[in-house]
Amino acid sequence: MASLYGFVRRVYLVFNPPAPKALSESPLRFGILGAAKIAPLGIVWPVKNHPDAVVEAVAARDQGRADAFAKRHGIPKAYGGPEAYQRLLDDPEIDVVYNPLPVAFHYEWTMKALAAGKHVLLEKPSSCTAEETRKMFALAQSKGLTLMEAFHNRFYPAILRVKEIVDSGELGTPTKIEATFAIPGGLIKDNDIQMIYHLGGGVMMDMGCYPVAMSRYLAGTEPTKIISARADVHPKSPQVDLGTTATLAFPNPTGSLGPADGLTATLVAHARLPKLWGFLPQLPKTFVRVIGTRGTVELSNFLVPWLHHTITVESSEEVGGPLRKRTEKQYGNLGYRYQLEAFIDKLRGRNPENWIDAQDSIANLEWVEAIYKETGLGSRPASTAEVPQTTTG
Ligand SMILES: NC(=O)C1=CN([C@@H]2O[C@H](COP(=O)(O)OP(=O)(O)OC[C@H]3O[C@@H](n4cnc5c(N)ncnc54)[C@H](OP(=O)(O)O)[C@@H]3O)[C@@H](O)[C@H]2O)C=CC1
Ligand SMILES: O=C1OC[C@@H](O)[C@H](O)[C@H]1O
């Protein structure tokens, strides 16, 4: 009963965030590019709860859509029409841009936003190619602006706790990571941006970027190679993967202590899990597990642990010794707000405890692209838009 109450309360708070006690006199003013589905959860509600941020404007390709979004969320300015995104970027009253456009437009509009002097909180995955991501961060750096990929889950207390357990040595030497983000069919339709190749679609881009990022984060190092990668492709769109499974090798973290073959990570992303026995829809799977020489930790929901999760730890004092089991929970009330908090801390010159830096975002995409290469599907097409570069920016 208590856990049901906790769940309802957490959901309520994310959708109805309590207003901050006192608003800063000159809060950072956010502008949103596109009336995207993720924008309320990703920025609008978190901002309502932050004492130093407001959403000042939204831009959508259609004026009616921009107006409706602005009205629904109490946003003062709504830019609409074919020039709307650029008009938002030209608005001197915008300090920060939230970019939740389809991945194929991340590069173009982030480069333009940076060129216009705005900081950018950029939705995941950062772009279609590591090369584009490199260029975005180079421009941000050359202009002294902050750019961060919005891997919201990297900021949740439950994730930080799992990392702490792994790094504490309680599990011995990590030998295997399993990270799965898979959902049943029927949720993501063919016309969703995730399913459209030229918009940067494909499950490894969209859902798969999370297991890739999580395995690299928990391993604390970069993979060395791809052992295998296999994709189930969309029947009508052969460059789009509906489901991809990849196994990556990581360096042996502690040399002689670990098994000879080091650490491997098996990553699964699936947007349309097949029905069991042909009729029973499968439940969503969003777990990460780290297996070490002396124990295992599993987080039941590494994607949105603020909603619900259990951390299960089984460990022993010595290799092969008796296992002791315990469960933990690490909630917090802020949901996506943790990510915003770190972002604003950075903009205000404070040092956030957690951050996703340029190298992290670049490497994540390098591995996503490497997995695509291994499956034979190849990278998503790079942007052909003309954008300002570092030297001219
Ligand atoms: N952090 C998270 O938890 C999540 C992040 N995401 C990420 O956020 C981004 C947006 O995802 P989501 O909200 O599902 O996306 P939507 O399908 O809602 O699309 C986002 C916006 O893209 C704009 N857009 C511009 N050009 C096009 C085009 N040619 N076709 C379609 N849309 C276009 C639309 O803006 P307009 O209003 O101007 O028409 C639309 O509002 C992606 O990068 C995705 O990976 C998605 C889900 C969860
Ligand atoms: O980032 C995401 O998280 C939730 C998923 O359902 C969505 O497809 C993805 O974009």
For residue 34, tell me if it sits in a domain.
yes
Q: What is the pLDDT of residue 391?
A: 57
**CATH code of the domain in which 294 resides:** 3.30.360.10
147 and 235 belong to one structural domain: no
| Contact indicator for 248, 265 with CB cutoff of 8 Å | yes
**Ligand 1 atom index nearest CA of 205:** 45
- Banded pLDDT at 243 (limits 50, 70, 90): very high
Task: Please state whether 180 falls in left (phi above 0), alpha (psi between -120 and 50) or beta.
Answer: beta
Among 285, 156, 149, 160, residue whose Cα is nearest residue 211: 285
Paired tokens of 250: 């990581």
Choosing from 77, 112, 124, 135, which is the catalytic residue?
A: 124
Q: Which of 37, 38, 203 to mutate to test the pocket of ligand 2 (most atoms within 8 A of CB)?
A: 38
176 is catalytic: no
Domain shared by 280 and 351, yes or no: no
pLDDT at 254 over 70: no
124 Cα–ligand 2 center, Å:
9
Look at residue 19 and tell me if it is in a domain.
Answer: yes
CATH code for the domain in which residue 7 is found? 3.40.50.720
Q: Ligand 2 centroid to 22 CA: how many Å?
A: 33
Q: Is residue 364 part of a domain?
A: no
Cβ–ligand 2 contact at 206 (below 6 Å): yes
Strand 174-184, strand 96-99: pairing: unpaired
Closest ligand to residue 183's CA: 2
Rounded to the nearest angstrom, the distance between the alpha carbon of 204 and the centre of ligand 2 is 11
Residues 176 and 119 occupy one common structural domain: no
123 lines ligand 2 (CB under 6 A): no
For ligand 2, atom 3, which residue shows the shortest CA distance?
207
Higher pLDDT, 18 or 57: 57
Alpha-carbon distance 136 to 111, whole Å?
6
Shared domain for 146 and 178, answered yes or no, is: no
Q: Is residue 390 part of a domain?
A: no
User: Are 124 and 242 part of one and the same domain?
Assistant: no
> Is 176 within the bounds of a domain?
yes
Higher-pLDDT residue of 3 and 379 is: 379
> 271: CA distance to ligand 1 center in Å?
17
* Pairwise CA distance, residues 4 & 27, whole Å: 36
The mean per-residue pLDDT over the stretch 163-180 comes to 96
Residue with CA at minimum distance from ligand 2 atom 4: 207
Q: Which residues' Cβ are closer than 6 Å to ligand 1?
A: 34-38, 42, 60-61, 65, 100-103, 105, 123-124, 150, 152, 193, 199, 206
Name the nearest CA neighbour of 211 among 73, 55, 367, 46.
Answer: 367
Q: What is the pLDDT, as a whole number, of residue 20? A: 87
pLDDT tens track for 140-159: 999 999 999 999 999 999 99
Q: Which residue, judged by its Cα, is nearest atom 16 of ligand 1?
A: 36
Identify whether 138 is part of a domain: yes
Is there a domain that residue 324 lies in? yes
Output the CA torsion sign for 327, 332, 336, 338: negative
Q: Provide CB contacts within 8 A for 108, sequence distance 6+.
A: 383, 385, 387
193/290 same-domain check: yes
> Which residue, judged by its Cα, is nearest atom 46 of ligand 1?
38
Q: Which atom of ligand 2 is nearest to the CA of 210?
A: 1
ipTM score here? 0.98
Q: What sign does the dihedral 190-192-198-202 (CA atoms) show?
A: negative
Q: In this model, does residue 257 exceed pLDDT 50? A: no
Claim to verify: residue 110 and residue 166 sit in the same structural domain: no
Mean per-residue pLDDT of the chain: 95
- Residue whose C-alpha is closest to residue 119's, from 202, 28, 231: 28
DSSP calls for 207-273: TTHHHHHHHHHHHTS---EEEEEEEEEETTEEEEEEEEEEEEEE--TTGGGS-TT-EEEEEEEEEEE
Residue 393's pLDDT band (boundaries 50, 70, 90)?
very low
- Between 129-138, 176-185, 250-259, 327-336, the lowest mean confidence (pLDDT) is in 250-259
Q: Are both 84 and 229 inside the same structural domain?
A: no
Can you give the residue range of the structural domain that contains 175? 154-333
Residues 290 and 197 in one domain: yes
Pair (160, 302) in one structural domain: yes
Q: Say yes or no: CB of residue 207 within 6 Å of ligand 2.
A: yes
On whether both 115 and 35 belong to a single domain, the answer is yes
Instruction: Name the DSSP class of 280.
Output: B
Beta strands at 263-273 and 237-250: parallel, antiparallel or unpaired? antiparallel
Number of domains in the chain: 2
Ligand 2 centre distance from Cα of residue 358 (Å): 22
Do residue 207 and residue 299 come from a single domain?
Answer: yes
pLDDT tens, residue by residue, 20-63? 888 899 999 999 999 999 999 999 999 999 999 999 999 999 99
pLDDT at 256 over 60: no
Is residue 43 assigned to a domain? yes
Which positions ≥6 away from 7 have C-beta within 8 Å? 307, 308
pLDDT in the model for residue 180: 98
DSSP 3-state of 140: helix
Is the pTM above the cut of 0.80?
yes
